[in-house]
Amino acid sequence: MKALRMVRYGDIESSLEFQFADVANPGAKEVVVRVRAASVNPVDNMVLRGDLKSVRKEVFPAGVGRDVSGEIVTVGGEVSDYCVGDQVFARVGEEHVGTIAEFITVDASHLAPKPVNLSHEEAAAIPLVALTSYQSLIEVARLKSGDRVLIHAGSGGIGSMAIQLAKSFGAYVVTTTSTANVRWVKELGADVVIDYKKEDYLKRTSDVDVVFDTLGGEYALDAFKVIKTGGRVVSISAALDPQSAEELGLGWFIRKILALKSRKLIKAAKAKSGLYRMVIMQANGKQLRELGNLYQDNIISPVIDKVYPFEQSKEAFSYLATGRAKGKVIISLGEPAIR
């Protein structure tokens, strides 16, 4: 099969190569999926640059891509929930990263049935952003009906999904975006849209129950200026908090370093009698199945900016790196050839 592989850390052009490899036989609890579509996420570019080496070092050549939609072609001996020919989608586990390829092996517990009303390209836009939003807002922040939530970068892949998810749970949504996207983000369901190029969101936002920080840096610390007492700040881009570091099983020395980096955030949370957590999304087929039902019932819709053919996968990475994507960047695969 043909696959896009990461061969070294560095820029997109020098780090990525198309290579041919055998299709692996699945383990007892795994399946092989013929990839029809995959997506590119900011984390993929972070891995290419080497930003995450302290958490996970790559062994080259390494697969790239974490979202997939396709059909099952081979089933492991202990898999009972799925059959050959089933249409599925998934955010694969880190041990199976490499969805930008003609075939991919997936842990069956990470799969969910593809919503029947969605194309493979639409389904591939969902898993990582949907699971990240769900685990951050619902699982960790305990968002509930009537809560006021601030979601940064509402036009991005995660932001556009998080707005819809929060609204489906009955929350009042405040979000930030650039001038060009204000109307579009409002149409996603946000109650208040702040144009960060014209306004200081800190002057228009106060007493929110939850801040979903997708940007990191000063945005994470500033979140404590706008949450109410007992509020929750959940980030996917700021410093890793001690609880999350322990749950990831990181060594004591790395946890100590991370604790120093997060100390200002932990102190700010304590001053507000609130919560700070940094969420690293985990593949979860059960949650993805629940989220898939929201898409199938048209409560939430996938948001796609551009679709690239498999042969232009590098261009997809480059476009995402511009930071201008409005929604998800998708890679569509034609009929694959086994080699």
Residue 262 confidence (pLDDT): 81
Contact (Cβ atoms closer than 8 angstroms) between residue 110 and residue 285: yes
How confident is the model at residue 335, as a pLDDT? Answer: 54
pLDDT digits (tens, 9 = 90+) for 226-284: 999 999 999 998 877 777 777 767 676 666 776 677 889 999 999 999 999 999 899 99
For the stretch 174-208, pLDDT in tens is 999 999 999 999 999 999 999 999 999 999 999 99
SS3 letters across 105-126: EEEHHHEEECCCCCCHHHHHCC
Nearest to 202 by CA among 217, 221, 230, 179: 221
Residue 107 lies in a domain: yes
In the chain, the amino acid numbered 298 is N
CA distance 82 to 59: 31
Within-domain flag for 286: no
Query: With contact defined as beta carbons under 8 Å apart, do 90 and 112 qualify?
Result: yes
d(CA 17, CA 8): 10
DSSP 159: H
Which pLDDT does position 339 carry in this prediction?
Answer: 30
Give the domain range for residue 94.
Answer: 2-126+302-332
115 and 44 both lie in a single domain: yes
Neighbour count for residue 89 (Cβ, 10 Å): 32
Assess if residue 91 is contained within a domain: yes
Domain count, the chain: 2
List C-alpha distances in Å: 28 to 31, 119, 150, 260, 283.
Answer: 8, 29, 43, 42, 19
Whether residues 312 and 214 share a domain: the answer is no
Instruction: State whether 271 and 320 are in the same domain.
Output: no
Residue 43 contacts residue 214 (beta carbons within 8 Å):
no
Burial class (CB in 10 A: 0-12, 13-18, 19+), 153: buried
Between CA 156 and CA 69 the distance in angstroms is 21
CATH at residue 310: 3.90.180.10
Low-confidence residues of the chain, pLDDT below 50? 336-339
- Please indicate, yes or no, whether residues 133 and 122 belong to a single structural domain of this protein: no
Which pLDDT belongs to residue 240? 79
Catalogue the E-assigned strands of 216-262.
227-235
Domain containing residue 223: CATH number: 3.40.50.720
Domain membership of residue 283 (yes or no) is: no
Query: What local confidence, expressed as pLDDT, does residue 53 receive?
Result: 79
Tokens encoding 266: 């932990």
284 occurs within a structural domain? no
134 lies in the same domain as 119: no
Distance CA 223, CA 189 (A): 22
Rounded to whole angstroms, how far apart are CA atoms 156 and 256?
32
If asked whether residues 136 and 234 sit together in one domain, one would say yes
Residue 54's pLDDT is 67
The pTM for the full model equals 0.93
